[in-house]
Structure 1
Amino acid sequence: MSVSLPDGSRISRNDLPRPNEKRWTASKKAIVARAVHYSLIDASEAIQWYDLSMSELMSWIARDSDHGIEALKSTRIQYFRKNSS
């Protein structure tokens, strides 16, 4: 099963990071955020598989939706928090 993203690309479960991922790059966060946002997986699955809190997952989805992958980089979090208001 795969889902289409607004840019025309597709993601499937095979694109998801390994369960219990410990090193989170912006691209891995974006794949998980988009998988939940576009209903490839449920939020509860992502939280369990990746040991995330609901607020952490929701922040990834919001930042990715509002600003794209750049907002998921740990070096850019403060910038996007300040400029989201």
Structure 2
Amino acid sequence: MFLKKSSGPRTAVLQDGTIISLADLPVSVTRWVASRKALVVAAVEHGLLTRDEAIARYGLSIEEFESWVQSFDRHGMDALKITQLQRFSNHR
């Protein structure tokens, strides 16, 4: 078995005790639901991916990814739900 050397951590422990790795991240072509957005944000915050790697991997704009980070930081995973987007965007 060949393991690619990584400059960052191989796993991260989230606040709820969940352990994530790069293998847990969604595939690059995916339907974005709140839990997948939160997973990518957490991976970046814990150093599994850089912001630029996440943007390139998932074909996101800088603004889109930053809006995920801000929404998640301010209001949690519920703010990443598309049905809640308007509700939480008014409470900056």
TM-score, structure 1 normalization: 0.88
Partners of 1:67 and 1:36 lie apart in 2 by 18
Correspondence 1:38-77 to 2 at 5 A: 38-77=46-85
CA RMSD of aligned residues (A): 1.2
Aligned residue for 1:25?
Answer: 33
Aligned residue for 1:83?
Answer: 91
Residue type at the aligned position of 2:15 = P
Partners of 1:13 and 1:22 lie apart in 2 by 15
Aligned residue pairs, count: 83
7-16 vs 50-59, which moves further: 7-16
Structure 2 residue 18 is the aligned partner of structure 1 residue 9: yes
Q: Unaligned stretches of 5+ in structure 1?
A: none
Q: Deviations over 1:14-41 (max 9, x none)?
A: 110002x241111111111111112111
Q: Give, in angstroms, the shift of residue 72 of structure 1.
A: 0.3
Partners of 1:28 and 1:18 lie apart in 2 by 10
Partners of 2:85 and 2:73 lie apart in 1 by 14
Identical amino acids, percent of aligned pairs: 42
